[in-house]
């Protein structure tokens, strides 16, 4: 049985009709967006339980997607080559190194595109989901993460593909019943139409072994695993809240990429959805229920100008061609870094790993600026802070929405840049984001406090001579607990590659072991050429090691 036949078999078990396509020669429209990956934070979730049924979920368009070209192809004229049924289960220990400068092309073929809808219709009274005041501050940019799973089964590959495809679709449909805004459309700046139009769901085939792909991951290859092209300036065909692509490797391994809109979903919310979907897929008795409480805590205000976030964001991030590098801090290196960053005199005896890594990256960023310009410029660091645990009482664990605020630390020119002093500055700013602040941001009067905060940010970011760095963390988001029924991921990563038009953004993630940190740093090409050679940085971090090594 061919790969396409296996997926068709899965569709038939859902009661779907045959896959359809336009006439030969008609061009297909790839799903693209001009929105860059945005700021967000850690983990999150929702509430409501309804009966789970099945219905005809979607219309299916079959396309062939090879590298950057998408064409409608009649299967009779150009069939997708079948995957051999002979078991080719990968051995992760037998990996082959790939040189970034001489990388072998990886082709990703889109086998199908469809819309997965909630298993049960959303009740009429829930059809309009109002965004919160904090959601209003976030653009509808898409945040992409990718999760890699090896094939540890001995069954024929066609059976593996069929079973996993069926399980993912069925469980996603059931999960969307609880996460109903995720299946809606962002039709207005102030609300999401919860119309059950569905999540974009793409199935693709990768002409590579997963072990080879992970031996030396290439950012541009990771980019191809996404359901839309981040580098495109074209508008996306529909204002999806979530888009998913499931990539099947030749060995039976899988990469699941999930892109969610920052308009209503921060890192905590993303992690909550991932946990819920995975739990449903593996048949867990513990159901993850989201809590949509953002609007009740932080009521939206139509007086806030549309696109307010875009007034500040361009001041923080540089635009232009940029480069992303991955720096990995293992547990022993983190212990040494935390010891060096400690400042007993300032009450920082044991800085967190996020605080220690953030301070080091900030210091190295300032070193880079000084090396380029010959003098030290004013420097500003913005760190996204999860508000869920900083209010009394804490927000529900699985609350959905952009429940974060920015801590802003500054370093003036001609200041002696010492690591522990940066930790002190960062701790001081973090202490300002407390339960009193959150309380002032709540309710109808919260708009005044938020407006005051935006004004202060605008003043800080208005200095054209300053350097700006932004850090967001999804550490402790339990990404590596996402077991869909065939084991936990061997690696998870941010999916933006080298293509986002915004530089100076760093995303911190857990390593698979849970006690390390992966820092995905995006800078301009000129800055990165200096930054990635910083001796102090390389004392504690490894530059882009194989995930197969760090997962061992």
pLDDT of residue 56: 34
pLDDT of residue 415: 79
DSSP state of 459: H
- Using 50, 70 and 90 to split pLDDT, how confident is the model at 68? very low
- Per-residue pLDDT reduced to its tens digit, 81-119: 333 322 233 333 232 333 344 456 889 999 999 999 999
* Per-residue tokens: 305: 């100008």
Q: CA 389, CA 387: separation in Å to the nearest integer?
A: 6
Mean pLDDT, rounded, for 396-405: 95
pLDDT of residue 187: 82
Domains, in order of start, for the chain: 3-87+103-297 (3.30.559.10), 309-490+498-550 (3.30.559.10)
Max Cα–Cα distance, the chain, nearest Å:
74
- Per-residue pLDDT reduced to its tens digit, 204-229: 999 999 999 999 888 889 999 999 88
- Per-residue pLDDT reduced to its tens digit, 3-16: 444 444 444 444 44
Taking CA atoms, 386 is separated from 41, 42, 289, 292, in Å, by 6, 7, 19, 16
Q: CA 157, CA 438: separation in Å to the nearest integer?
A: 52
Q: Of 52-61, 171-180, 473-482, which range is least confident?
A: 52-61
Q: CA 6, CA 155: separation in Å to the nearest integer?
A: 13
Nearest alpha-carbon partner for 401 in 299, 289, 264: 264
SS3 334: helix
Contact between 390 and 438 (Cβ < 8 Å): yes
DSSP state of 532: T
pLDDT of residue 159: 87
**pLDDT > 90 in the chain, percent:** 62
- Per-residue pLDDT reduced to its tens digit, 318-374: 666 789 999 999 999 999 999 999 987 767 788 999 999 999 999 999 999 999 999
| Strands of the sheet with 185-188, listed across from one edge | 128-130, 191-193, 185-188
pLDDT of residue 232: 64
Q: Is the pLDDT of residue 254 over 90?
A: yes
Mean pLDDT, rounded, for 403-422: 91
Among 70-79, 444-453, 530-539, which range has the highest average pLDDT?
530-539
Q: CA 260, CA 258: separation in Å to the nearest integer?
A: 7
Contact between 362 and 434 (Cβ < 8 Å): no
Q: Is the pLDDT of residue 240 over 90?
A: yes
For residues 318 and 531, which has the higher predicted lDDT (pLDDT)?
531
pLDDT of residue 499: 54
How much is the pTM?
A: 0.81
pLDDT of residue 71: 25
Contact between 479 and 551 (Cβ < 8 Å): no
Mean pLDDT, rounded, for 59-66: 31
Q: Is the pLDDT of residue 130 over 60?
A: yes
Contacts of 17 (CB under 8 A, 6+ apart): none
* 534 Cα distance to chain centroid: 27
Query: Which residues are known catalytic residues?
Result: 262, 483
Taking CA atoms, 496 is separated from 1, 204, 215, 220, 516, in Å, by 35, 18, 19, 9, 21
């Amino acid at each position: 049985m061919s790969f396409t036949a296996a997926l068709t078999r899965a569709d038939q078990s859902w009661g779907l009709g045959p896959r359809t396509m336009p006439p030969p020669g008609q061009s297909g429209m790839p799903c693209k967006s001009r929105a860059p990956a945005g700021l967000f934070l850690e983990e999150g979730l929702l509430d409501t339980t309804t009966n789970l049924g099945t219905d005809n979920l979607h219309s299916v368009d079959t396309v062939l997607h090879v590298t950057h070209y998408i064409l409608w192809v009649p299967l009779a004229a150009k069939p997708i080559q079948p995957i051999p049924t002979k078991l080719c289960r990968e051995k992760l220990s037998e990996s082959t190194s790939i040189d970034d400068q001489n990388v072998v092309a990886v082709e990703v073929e889109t086998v199908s595109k469809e819309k997965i809808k909630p298993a049960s219709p959303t009740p009429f009274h829930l059809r309009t989901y109002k965004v919160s005041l904090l959601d209003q501050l976030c653009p509808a940019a898409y945040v992409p993460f990718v999760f890699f799973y090896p094939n540890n089964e001995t069954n024929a590959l066609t059976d593996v593909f069929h079973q996993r495809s069926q399980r993912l679709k069925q469980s996603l449909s059931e999960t969307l019943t609880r996460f109903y805004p995720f299946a809606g459309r962002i039709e207005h700046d102030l609300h999401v139409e919860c119309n059950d139009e569905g999540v974009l769901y793409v199935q693709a085939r990768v002409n590579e072994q997963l072990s080879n792909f992970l031996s030396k991951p290439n950012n541009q290859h990771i980019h191809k695993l996404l359901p839309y092209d981040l580098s495109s300036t074209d508008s996306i065909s529909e204002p999806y809240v979530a888009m998913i692509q499931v990539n099947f490797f030749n060995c039976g391994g899988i990469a699941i990429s999930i892109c969610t809109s920052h308009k209503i979903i921060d890192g905590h919310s993303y992690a909550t959805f991932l946990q819920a979907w995975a739990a449903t897929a593996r048949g867990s008795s513990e159901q993850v229920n989201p809590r949509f409480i953002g609007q009740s805590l932080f009521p939206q205000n139509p007086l806030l100008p549309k696109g307010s976030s875009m007034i500040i964001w361009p001041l923080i991030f540089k635009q232009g061609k940029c480069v992303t590098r991955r720096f990995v801090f293992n547990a022993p290196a983190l212990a040494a870094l935390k010891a060096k960053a400690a400042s007993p005199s300032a009450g920082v005896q044991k800085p967190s790993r996020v605080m220690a890594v953030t301070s080091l990256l900030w210091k190295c960023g300032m070193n880079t600026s000084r090396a380029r310009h010959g003098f030290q410029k004013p420097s500003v660091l913005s760190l996204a802070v999860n508000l869920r645990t900083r209010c009394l009482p804490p927000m529900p664990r699985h609350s959905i929405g952009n429940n974060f605020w920015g801590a802003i630390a500054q370093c003036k020119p001609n200041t002696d840049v010492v690591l522990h002093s940066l930790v002190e500055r960062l701790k001081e700013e973090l202490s300002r984001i407390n339960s009193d602040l959150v309380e002032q941001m709540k309710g109808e009067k919260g708009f005044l406090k938020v407006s005051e905060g935006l004004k202060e940010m605008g003043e800080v970011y208005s200095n054209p001579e300053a350097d700006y760095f932004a850090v967001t963390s999804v550490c402790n988001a339990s990404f590596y607990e996402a077991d869909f029924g065939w084991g936990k991921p061997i690696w998870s990563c941010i999916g933006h590659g080298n293509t986002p038009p915004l530089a100076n953004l760093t995303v911190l993630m857990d390593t698979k072991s849970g006690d390390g940190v992966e820092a995905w740093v995006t800078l301009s090409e000129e800055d990165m050429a200096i930054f990635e050679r910083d001796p102090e940085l390389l004392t504690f971090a490894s530059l882009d090691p194989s995930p197969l090594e760090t997962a061992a």
